Amino acid sequence: SSIGCPGMWDNITCWKPASVGEIVFVKCPALFRFIISEDGWEVDNLGQTHAGDYDLLESTAQSPLGDISRNCTEDGWSEPFPHYYDACGFDENETESDNQDYYYLSVKALYTVGYSTSLVSLTTAMVILCRFRKLHCTRNFIHMNLFVSFILRAISVFIKDGVLYAEQDGNHCFISTVECKAVMVFFHYCVMSNYFWLFIEGLYLFTLLVETFFPERRYFYWYTIIGWGTPTICVTVWAVLRLHFDDTGCWDMNDNTALWWVIKGPVVGSIMVS
């Protein structure tokens, strides 16, 4: 609502919102030099540096790459100065970026084929286990829940890719919709459920060893609560914490290590116990 320049994605890097008369500086994006992974931004308004911004003066002295700036004028953003090619030493004839795109597309195609194959195989197994009554027992019920968790995990990957990467030239810096956040919550829930049903498989075998006779059906209720309930609690807590303390982007990046352990901790714990 204030007069100024809105945040912008120029298909190369992000430009934070600024007021008229401000100069915004950004470092050369990592795509120009894959070795350099740190990036930041700084708003310089009449020589004043705002709290929370990165101090680019020190990092620039240590980095072979330069800085690019844009002026926020009454007519909007100015052209970048100096140009990306000049500041970042980028050669238009280089094909490294194209090779990188090809690499990521190849990886995506590979895991898409893998998850699709897994989805078909697991669906077939589920039909067989559900169709024949002679196969209905506690052990196979646990297997079926594990298969469902694998199926949901594959489906969640397809949904995540469809939402996050539907548009190649989308605004990846400022995308922060309820839809994409809900997809990430669903994705993490499916992954956690997958690990916890693997844990249930081990727990069931352990129960067979320590108890010769035990009410399997009663135990199965607890297995269900652990397998589907524990991930629900952990992912809900993680989502609430992200909403209040790290509500940035689409929640697909986990830069806050403490919050990420809300999901990673129980998963690692279940693996160790198994």
Residue 42 · residue 56 · CB < 8 Å:
yes
**CATH value of 1-36+64-92 in 3.30.1490.20, 4.10.1240.10, 3.40.50.12500, 3.90.45.10:** 4.10.1240.10
Distance CA 65, CA 262 (A): 37
The Cα 236–Cα 233 span in angstroms is 5
| pLDDT tens sequence across 225-240 | 999 999 999 999 999 9
The answer to whether residue 63 scores a pLDDT higher than 70 is no
Whether 72 contacts 56, CB under 8 Å: no
Helix (H, G, I), strand (E, B) or coil at 57: helix
Q: CA-to-CA distance for 191 and 156, rounded, in angstroms?
A: 9
Fold designation for 96-273 = Rhopdopsin 7-helix transmembrane proteins (1.20.1070)
Which range has highest mean pLDDT (13-22, 159-168, 234-243)?
234-243
Give me the percent of the chain exceeding a pLDDT of 70.
Answer: 76
Highest mean pLDDT among 26-35, 82-91, 165-174, 222-231: 222-231
pLDDT (average), residues 55-72: 57
Domain ranges of the chain: 1-36+64-92, 96-273
The domains spanning 1-36+64-92 and 96-273 adopt the same CATH topology: no
What is the predicted pLDDT for the residue at 173? 55
Pairing assessment for the beta strands 4-5 and 41-45 based on DSSP bridges = unpaired
| Confidence at residue 134, expressed as pLDDT on a 0 to 100 scale | 84
| Backbone phi and psi for residue 26, each to the nearest 5 degrees, phi listed first | -135, 150
Tokens of 266: 């129980």
Q: Once rounded to an integer, what is the mean pLDDT over residues 96-115?
A: 82
Percentage above 90 pLDDT, the chain: 34
Helix (H, G, I), strand (E, B) or coil at 126: helix
Please choose, from the candidates 94, 75, 80, 102, the residue with its C-alpha nearest in 3D space to the C-alpha of residue 32.
Answer: 94
pTM for the whole structure: 0.63
Distance CA 235, CA 221 (A): 21
**120-156 residue pLDDT tens:** 999 999 999 998 888 888 888 999 999 999 999 999 9
Q: Which residue has the tokens 């697909």?
A: 252
**Given its phi and psi angles, is residue 251 left (phi above 0), alpha (psi -120 to 50 degrees) or beta?**
left
In this structure, are strands 18-19 and 14-15 parallel, antiparallel, or unpaired?
Answer: unpaired
* pLDDT confidence band for 50 (50 / 70 / 90): very low
Least-confidence region, from 177-181, 223-227, 270-274: 177-181
Structural contact between residues 66 and 29, judged by C-beta atoms closer than 8 angstroms: no
Contacts of 96 (CB under 8 A, 6+ apart): none
CA distances from 140 to 132, 169, 195 (A): 11, 46, 17
